[in-house]
Structure 1
Amino acid sequence: MALRSHHNGFGSVTKSLHWIVAALFIGVFAIGWYMDFLPLGMAKLEWMSRHKSLGVTILMLAVLRIIWRLSEPTPAALGKHAIERLAAKIGHLGLYGVMIAMPLTGWMMSSAANFPVSVFGLFTLPNLVAPDQGLFESLRTAHFVLSWVIVALVCGHVCAALKHHFIDRDATLRRMLPAFGGNDNADIGANTTAKENS
């Protein structure tokens, strides 16, 4: 499988970044919800540190993914209607936006609370803003709202992929799977028809 994407398919780097970030998002959300139920204490602080470290990792990978995507061609969307292709573009832009905004608001929130962010105990990030309780509350609200924006965007993303796979029967979902290396423009329905006619 090629490292770089081409007009007919995604490369292994793009696929790897996609699934790694997806797994990290699941992890950071699970930790976020779990630690909300913990009483204030060392256990909660430890889980909060893990949450922040994963968030910073997502931020770094998101920046890398955007740079990588801008450096290579993007396979054409397989949507049959212009409105679908527009919705896909808006959805992807939204996902890229929240991949940056969510960790940044968390980092800024920690800075406003005067709690520097340590990344897995390896290094500490500089504070982005001065300590400010009012700003902390605003950023906490923004962070919470963005979490639901992410949920909505991810649900839309998954539903769209399933719709392409099971209803449109095209390769939109398959071409992002690590093991898929065939012609990404292949249409499942077209292949089935060809077999029936042979």
Structure 2
Amino acid sequence: MTAQLHYGKPAKIFHWLIVGLLAVQYPIGWLMPDIHRGMSPGAAMTFHISIGIAILALTALRFLWRLTHPVAPESSLPVWQRLSSEAVHWLLYVLVLATTISGWLFASYRGWSVSFFYLVPLPMLASDNAAAGRAIDGLHQATEWALLIIIGIHIAAALAHIFIYRDRVMQRMLPG
């Protein structure tokens, strides 16, 4: 399988859909009410979980697309930039998957009956377990912060390529 030089339309669509959903997901997660013992998920939690499931599905599809449609590293970049770019991208995949799955596990450990946008019931990944729920909640919060930091590094690198290096590396992923 020969690596392409630029990302194709499906890769760009997956990327920008995930970016858009994450831009909605973080504010919903931060602004929804605190979760207390015995409460059931309301609309904010249902939308937060539903968007998380959509992000999980799109990330899995994006990952499969990347494996079957590889893109060659930008040859003009120094080795350290190519290696750090590859590491950041793989870390983004791992953290998105860990964050979304830990959120789903948290809802499962709470014993919640949740649905995908009130349309399709979601299977629970575990049974009701308050202690495990607290542990998973801590993991979910840690991964969401780690993901936000790596997203910030990714954006900073993209902006550096646009405004400092002016090397047109970003043209490979921009829409169009």
Tell me if TM exceeds 0.5: yes
Unaligned regions of 5+ residues in structure 1, if any? 180-198
Q: Is the 8 A contact 1:112 1:133 kept in 2?
A: yes
Amino acid at match of 2:138: T
Amino acid at match of 2:54: T
Match of 2:133 among 116, 120, 136: 136
Deviations 1:153-195 (A, max 9, x none): 000000111111222211221221112xxxxxxxxxxxxxxxx
2:166 match: 169
| In structure 1, distance between residues paired with 2:36 and 2:102 | 23
1:32 match: 29
2:45 match: 48
Q: Is the 8 A contact 1:62 1:99 kept in 2?
A: yes
Secondary structure (helix, strand or coil) at the match of 2:124 reads coil
Q: Is the 8 A contact 2:53 2:116 kept in 1?
A: yes
1:126 match: 123
Deviates more, 1:73-82 or 1:149-158: 73-82
Structure 1 moving runs of 4+ over 3 Å: 36-40
Deviations 1:37-79 (A, max 9, x none): 6999x9x711111000000000000111111111112132356
Q: Does 1:57 align with 2:26?
A: no
Superposed, which structure 2 residues align to 1:59-78 within 5 Å?
Answer: 59-78=56-75
Structure-1-length-normalised TM-score: 0.81
Which structure ranks higher in relative contact order (CA pairs < 8 Å, sequence separation ≥ 6)?
A: 2
Larger C-alpha radius of gyration, 1 or 2? 1
Amino acid at match of 1:149: A
1:147 match: 144
Deviates more, 1:49-58 or 1:160-169: 160-169
2:103 match: 106
| In structure 2, distance between residues paired with 1:64 and 1:176 | 17
Secondary structure (helix, strand or coil) at the match of 1:173 reads helix
Structure-2-length-normalised TM-score: 0.91
Deviations 1:57-110 (A, max 9, x none): 000001111111111121323563211111111100010111211110011001
Matched pairs, number: 173
Secondary structure (helix, strand or coil) at the match of 2:6 reads coil
Q: Is the 8 A contact 1:7 1:76 kept in 2?
A: no
CA positional deviation for 1:20: 0.5
1:190 match: none
Q: Is the 8 A contact 1:78 1:172 kept in 2?
A: no
| In structure 2, distance between residues paired with 1:68 and 1:158 | 22
Distance change (3 Å), C-alpha of 1:12 and 1:100: same
Q: Percent identity?
A: 31
| In structure 1, distance between residues paired with 2:129 and 2:170 | 45
Q: Is the 8 A contact 1:107 1:117 kept in 2?
A: no
What root-mean-square deviation, in Å, do the aligned CA atoms of Structure 1 and Structure 2 show?
A: 2.2
